[in-house]
Amino acid sequence: MHWARFRSSDGRIGFGTVEGEYIAEYEGDMFGASLPANRSLARGEYILISPCLPSKIVALWNNFGALSLKLGKPAPAHPLFLIKPATSVIGPGDEIRRPAGYAGKIAYEGELGIVIAKRCKEVHPDHAGDYIFGYTCVNDVTAAAVLNENVDFAQWCRSKGYDTFGCLGPVIATGLDWRSLRVVTRLDGVERQNYPLSDMTMSPQDLVSRLSHDMTLLPGDVIACGTSIGVGSIKDGSAVEVTIEGIGSLVNVLSGSAN
């Protein structure tokens, strides 16, 4: 199933399942008790918005073999991660905004996102799959020049945590067999990344279990599984498209400064 959040043409926010060009609306809580609302919206009567509202995005680093090899880094024994705040989240079609006063490089990273189904704390790996609601596409955006701006402290959270730097969507796919899939990232239609998810060092179930021992994961939280080779920069006005078969394509354009 493909779950989505939407804004209707009359401004109403809701959620439901995407069925062709229609959305079958549900009532209740996507991650709790929900029931069909027995009504649907046709194309043109809605736009898709961020498919969930995470309290945080947990973003992985060095979780793919090909990138580890390129960087000359060993595979980590435990997830290496940073936190992107809830205020960074945008959905399909929303603009990535260049931070005010920042003229440096902005980078894209196409990734698979794990969406958490229910409160998750100290979960055994054998049961971690029960806590995965589904998967979405992620563009983990970075203000690259900020990362090492201070030689005494690498600013991972600041460089990746600006408003609009956590792109999610277009939907959450449930029942997805991620092992056979690839992440394809295009910049203005030109392919820049095309890597297999099977190259992940730690599987989604392993990540959920390990991270749940570091922090409590809440319904709707997203774990961005990390990226592989092919990361690059975005010029103002350029469109980044992250595509994963079975989920769809997440497209966002980098605009100029918000101010």
Q: What is the 3-state secondary structure (H, E, C) of the chain?
A: CEEEEEEECCCCEEEEEEECCEEEEEEECCCCCEEEEEEEECCCCEEEECCCCCCEEEEEECCEHHHHHHHCCCCCCCCEEEEEEHHHEECCCCEEEECCCCCCCEEECEEEEEEECCCECCCCHHHHHHHEEEEEEEEECEEHHHHCCCCCCCCHHHHHCCCCCEEEEEEEECCCCHHHCEEEEEECCEEEEEEEHHHECCCHHHHHHHHHCCCCECCCCEEECCCCCCCEECCCCCEEEEEECCCEEEEEEEEEECC
The CATH class, in words, for 50-257 is alpha beta
pLDDT tens-digit map of 56-70: 999 999 999 999 999
Q: Is the pLDDT of residue 75 over 70?
A: yes
Average pLDDT on 110-120 reads: 98
CATH fold of 2-48: SH3 type barrels. (2.30.30)
Average pLDDT on 90-99 reads: 98
Q: Is the pLDDT of residue 258 over 60?
A: no
Q: Is the pLDDT of residue 259 over 80?
A: no
pLDDT at 84: 98
pLDDT at 257: 62
pLDDT at 88: 98
pLDDT at 256: 78
Domain extents in the chain: 2-48, 50-257
